[in-house]
Amino acid sequence: MDNKELDSLFRPKSVAVIGASATPGKIGHSVIKNLLDGKYEGQIYPINNKLTEIQGLKCYASILDVPGPVDSAVVTIPAQYVLPVAEDCGKKGVKALIVITSGFSEVGDTALEEKLVTISRSYGMRVLGPNIVGYLSNTDKLNASFAPFLPLKGKASLITQSGALLIAIDAASYSRGVGFDKLVSIGNMSDLDFADLIAWLNDDPNTTCITLHIEGFKDGRKFIEQCRKTSKPIIALKAGVSSHGAAAAASHTGSLAGATKVYGAAFQQAGAVQATDLDNLFDRTLSLSLQPELKGDNLLIITNGGGVGVLATDAAEKYGLPLKFAPKDVQEALKEHMPEFGSAKNPVDMTGMAGNEWYKETVRYSLTHDWVDGVVVLYCETAITNPTDIAQAVYDAFQESGVKNKPVTTSFVGGERCEAAMKWLVDKGIPAYGAPDVAVNAMAALREYAQIRESISKNSEMKLVGDKGTALKVIAKARAAGRDSLTEIEAKEVFSAYGLPVTKTVLSTSEDEAVAFANKVGYPIVMKIVSPDILHKSDAGGVKVNVKDDKSVREAFQTIMKNAREYKADADIHGIAIQEMAPWGTEVIMGSINDPTFGPTVMFGLGGIFVEVLKDVTFRVAPVSCSQSKQMISEIRGAPILAGVRGEAPRDREKLAETICQYSNMILDLGDEIKESDANPILVYEEGQGVKVVDARIILKKK
């Protein structure tokens, strides 16, 4: 899509309002009033076949009667009249429909919504909505919505799926001092979705940060791809974090993959910073829209109060920016601007004696010092200082330093005078917050943004290396037998086709065969039941490890068969697998699901109680590059176990990362076939010794 295509939507020269009304309280009345109140400078054309004039504007019976061209049309009439009107708009040459009307897919009428899109597309029109509040732009003085006024001016642009929230954020922008250039209500996303709008906003000179409130996507992969191409910070708040489809999941991975975890992974892969709640969305939007990214970890905190300094120090650690002592030269220079009992270490505590000059000198010096990557300035209201003067000093320091690529956030703790000082600072482009931990969190967002972009640039897509043909043959055979799951032996054949290191396994159907194979594989061996009806083999008493001789093979064969029959009398038993016994290694698990929004998605964690009890797992949408796989390995809580603790040798994380990466390629390549899969466990050996998949499971998509 050419981004320019949406210019008529975002920056229309003329707007028609279909269903314009003279009756206050009606949406068609509000939209006209809001366009007028906002002082929109383009043409406004009210459309209503019963009136000749609305709020001083000439009214037209049909859009086809409008004399000039119309860029966008705001549709407010009831759903049942929308299609013929869309047709007329198309004939008129309207470029975009802003469909406020509800009563489409959100109430189950998907057909009506699809028809609207089909008609619009046939005329080359794009559709925003339906079921929205509308669209607002400060730059264009355009309030094409029923939200009562344009938001506080600012540099962020917001897209939200909730109309009610848009109206609330609009109002809150003033009380919270967080400004927006554009507010977009996205509604049912019948045509234009998050990715389309983000693409346009990325080119918008009046938007520096894209703020998203998301309930759900239709096409998660399109979103990820678009975000990765975006050069501006994106901050996302995901609503609706309860798990989806988890109850019905057949596998471990499925039950662990709540919406939160998969969305979290997707945001990370998309390069979007996350907000934890609505407050956090505002706070982080402010810093991301006003300040540059934080390029390194050297954060300096400057304060006039030890108490807030400690709160900020705690927050810095909590939000991933633990403070380091400033280097000697910084400490010496800063000592000049504090009494003897002050501290220049970090936090830099100038004490309650700090006035404008000390603030100015300290902030200015810090910004210009190479060691410092960013500065959080804290101020506690005192009797001897005026918050406005301190704000001025911070701003002057920022200006005089000439440093534009290091972020500054501030917190002024106090009463109304502090409020006023912070408002003034925000107007000057410096984020200010009422609490020190919030100023630090806002700074952390700038660091997360830098890190996330860096990791994206490192993660070029992986090339697929796998023998899909062989894998498909194995799958076809199982399907032909009327099955939608593979046995361990079959699953391992598929894994092998993608180069994954599995234990050598052969199927025996009699005791004699079992003994013969056992001798071929070499003792000790592992024996396992092979039945499409028994997915969890140990539960059925279907696994014997460390079988050491012929006699034990015969015994094990009988026991396993007996156990299996007791477990499930009518189980279809293929035989017993004779498997090489892998030496002991650290147990980890890899799993996959086919997420309804993002498609093939990989899970990784430590095996045993770590996954079962602690649910210490992490997700990524496939494909996962090797460096992303390494991130997965290092971000689980149990990571130190793989790194080597208490004198234990570190595990082969290199090979493990390669395995995760390769596995992600497999589930993506076979995305049309595999519903869920796992390798549980994989044994991980010492560095250089590799890994071994000892159990594999694949559940097929129903066809």
CA dist., res. 17 & res. 75, Å (int): 6
Considering beta carbons, is residue 146 or 610 the nearer one to Mg ion?
610
Q: Are 222 and 196 in contact (CB under 8 A)?
A: no
Return residues touching Mg ion (CB under 5 A). 680, 695
Considering beta carbons, is residue 182 or 537 the nearer one to ligand ADP?
537
Continuous segment of H or E residues that includes residue 655: helix 653-669
Minimum CB–partner distance for residue 585 and ligand ADP (Å): 9
Three-class secondary structure assignment of 227-295: HHHCCCCEEEEECCCCCCCCCCCCCHHHHHCCHHHHHHHHHHHHCCEECCCHHHHHHHHHHHHHCCCCC
Considering beta carbons, is residue 157 or 505 the nearer one to ligand ADP?
505
Considering beta carbons, is residue 182 or 675 the nearer one to ligand ADP?
675
Residue 503 partner contact from ligand ADP, Mg ion, none using kind-dependent CB cut-offs of 5 to 8 Å:
ligand ADP
Considering beta carbons, is residue 233 or 681 the nearer one to ligand ADP?
681
Considering beta carbons, is residue 201 or 694 the nearer one to ligand ADP?
694
Minimum CB–partner distance for residue 537 and ligand ADP (Å): 3
Entry field: residues in the chain:
703
Residue 31 partner contact from Mg ion, ligand ADP, none using kind-dependent CB cut-offs of 5 to 8 Å:
none
Using alpha carbons, select from 499, 501, 494 the residue that is nearest to residue 462. Answer: 499
Q: Which two tokens stand for residue 599?
A: 């498609």
Residue 630 partner contact from Mg ion, ligand ADP, none using kind-dependent CB cut-offs of 5 to 8 Å:
none
Lateral strand order in the sheet of 180-185: 142-145, 134-137, 180-185, 153-160, 209-214, 234-238, 273-274
Considering beta carbons, is residue 196 or 488 the nearer one to ligand ADP?
488
Considering beta carbons, is residue 220 or 532 the nearer one to ligand ADP?
532
Q: Residues 494, 497, 500, CA angle at the centre, nearest 5°?
A: 90
Residue 184 partner contact from ligand ADP, Mg ion, none using kind-dependent CB cut-offs of 5 to 8 Å:
none
**Which residues are registered as beta bridge partners of 126?**
96
Minimum CB–partner distance for residue 656 and Mg ion (Å): 17
Residue 261 partner contact from Mg ion, ligand ADP, none using kind-dependent CB cut-offs of 5 to 8 Å:
none
Considering beta carbons, is residue 134 or 607 the nearer one to ligand ADP?
607
Three-class secondary structure assignment of 5-16: HHHHHHCCCEEE
CA dist., res. 591 & res. 603, Å (int): 5
CA separation, residue 73 to residues 89, 467, 597 (Å) = 8, 52, 31
**Which residues are registered as beta bridge partners of 60?**
47
Residue 446 partner contact from ligand ADP, Mg ion, none using kind-dependent CB cut-offs of 5 to 8 Å:
none
CA separation, residue 145 to residues 35, 149, 182 (Å) = 8, 9, 12
Using alpha carbons, select from 259, 220, 214, 256 the residue that is nearest to residue 241. Answer: 259
Residue 592 partner contact from Mg ion, ligand ADP, none using kind-dependent CB cut-offs of 5 to 8 Å:
none
User: Quick one: CA dihedral 599, 605, 610, 614, positive or negative?
Assistant: negative
CA separation, residue 303 to residues 54, 309, 345, 378 (Å) = 57, 6, 12, 5
Q: Which ranges constitute the DSSP H helices of 585-638?
A: 609-612, 626-635
Return all residues near 689 (Cβ < 8 A) that are at least 6 apart: 652
Minimum CB–partner distance for residue 481 and ligand ADP (Å): 20
Residue 582 partner contact from Mg ion, ligand ADP, none using kind-dependent CB cut-offs of 5 to 8 Å:
ligand ADP
Residue 125 partner contact from ligand ADP, Mg ion, none using kind-dependent CB cut-offs of 5 to 8 Å:
none
CA dist., res. 409 & res. 316, Å (int): 13
Minimum CB–partner distance for residue 136 and ligand ADP (Å): 55
Minimum CB–partner distance for residue 695 and ligand ADP (Å): 3
Considering beta carbons, is residue 155 or 651 the nearer one to ligand ADP?
651
Considering beta carbons, is residue 414 or 608 the nearer one to Mg ion?
608
Return residues touching ligand ADP (CB under 6 A). 503, 526, 528, 536-538, 543, 545, 579, 581-582, 680-681, 694-695
Minimum CB–partner distance for residue 538 and Mg ion (Å): 7
Residue 579 partner contact from Mg ion, ligand ADP, none using kind-dependent CB cut-offs of 5 to 8 Å:
ligand ADP
Residue 477 partner contact from ligand ADP, Mg ion, none using kind-dependent CB cut-offs of 5 to 8 Å:
none
Minimum CB–partner distance for residue 587 and Mg ion (Å): 9
Minimum CB–partner distance for residue 113 and ligand ADP (Å): 45
Minimum CB–partner distance for residue 536 and ligand ADP (Å): 5
Minimum CB–partner distance for residue 616 and ligand ADP (Å): 17
Q: Which two tokens stand for residue 106?
A: 């959100």
